[in-house]
Structure 1
Amino acid sequence: MNEAARDLRPKAGDSEKITINLGYVDLGHIDLLVDEGFYSNRTDFIRTAIRNQVDRHAEIVRQTVTRKSVDLGLRHFSRADLEAAQAEGRMLDIRVLGLATIAPDVSADLARATIASLTVLGALHAPSAVKAALADRIR
C-alpha cells in the first residue's frame, strides 16, 4: 500500500453526504432505539450499522484491497506528483478506497497526460475540468 494513503475516520467536513430511502417500519425501529437512548440520533445509528457491516466483512475487504492494489484511506495527487510522473514518462493507474483528491491547480491536460485510469470506491474530489477530461478513464 502507498505510504501516502492513510486510514481515516470521518470528522466534521471529512465526510460525504449520502441519501437513503428507508421503509417506515425500519425508520420507526431506528427512532425507537434513539428514544430509548441506545443511539444519540438517526445518523449515529446508521453510521454504527455501516461500521458493523464493514467490520463483519473486514477480511474480504482486506483481501480485495491487497489483490487489486488499492490505496486505502486518503490519497492526494498534487500538481508536482503528476509533473514528476510526466517527467518520468509514466502513466498512473489510480485505485483508491476512500477519498481521492486531485489538487485544484492540476490542469485537464496534465491529468490526461499522466492518469491512465482512475477507480475510486468512495469519493473523488477534483476540479470539474479534470473530471471532464478523465471521464472516459474513470471507473
Structure 2
Amino acid sequence: MATQTEKITLNVTPIDLAAIDLLVEQGFYQNRTDFFKHAIAGKLQEQQTTIDELVTREVKQPHSYYTIGIQVISRKWLADLQVKRDTATVVVYGLLTIDQDVPLSMLQETVTSIKVYGVTHADKSIKAAYGL
C-alpha cells in the first residue's frame, strides 16, 4: 500500500530557496520536494523521544481510544460502544476517517471528544461539531 501524503503550503525566504535550489542542482536532492521531505524526516527523527513521551502521556487517559496510523469510525463501532453503554475520547496520530453514513447525533451520543494530529476525512457538520 502506498503511503498517503497531504499537500502543504510553505513560505521560505528567497535566500533559503536559493540554497535549496543550489543543493538540488548539485545532485544532493532530486528536487525541492525531496529536500523538504528529508528535512522534515530528519527533524522528526531528532524529536522522536519527545514525540514518544507526549503520545505516552495522552494514552493514559481513561475511556480513550488512541490510534497511531489510520482510524476509521463506523456506525458498527459506535453501535458496539452504545451496547456497552460506553463513551469514548478519540485521539488519532495520522488519519481519521469517519464514514459518511455516521450520523452526527450518533457520534455525539458516543464520542465525547476527538483530537487529530494529522488529517481528518469527515462530513463538514462533524468537523464543525468537534472543531476539526
TM-score category, normalised to shorter length = 0.7 to 0.9
Corresponding residue of 2:106: 110
Corresponding residue of 2:27: 37
**Counterpart Cα distance in 2 of 1:115 and 1:89:** 12
2:81 corresponds to 1:85: yes
2:62 corresponds to 1:62: no
- Is the Cα–Cα contact under 8 Å of residues 102 and 125 in structure 1 kept in the other structure? yes
2:114 corresponds to 1:124: no
TM-score (norm 2): 0.87
1:114 partner letter = T
Pairwise CA RMSD: 1.6
- Which runs of at least 4 in structure 1 moved beyond 6 Å after TM superposition? none
Identity of aligned residues (%): 37
**Counterpart Cα distance in 1 of 2:112 and 2:102:** 15
**Counterpart Cα distance in 2 of 1:82 and 1:38:** 49
Q: Which has the higher contact order (CA 8 A, sep 6+)?
A: 1
- How far 1:111 sits from its partner (Å)? 1.2
- How far 1:72 sits from its partner (Å)? 1.5
| 3-state SS in 2 of match to 1:67 | helix
Corresponding residue of 1:3: none
2:100 partner letter = P
| 3-state SS in 2 of match to 1:68 | helix
Structure 1 unmatched runs, 5+: 1-7
* 1:8-40: CA deviation from partner (whole Å, max 9, x where unpaired): 9x73xx121111110001111111111111111
2:90 corresponds to 1:100: no
| 3-state SS in 1 of match to 2:33 | helix
2:20 corresponds to 1:24: no
TM-score (norm 1): 0.83
**Counterpart Cα distance in 1 of 2:35 and 2:75:** 39
**Counterpart Cα distance in 2 of 1:79 and 1:128:** 17
- How far 1:48 sits from its partner (Å)? 0.7
Structure 2 unmatched runs, 5+: 60-65
2:47 corresponds to 1:47: no
**Counterpart Cα distance in 1 of 2:115 and 2:93:** 8
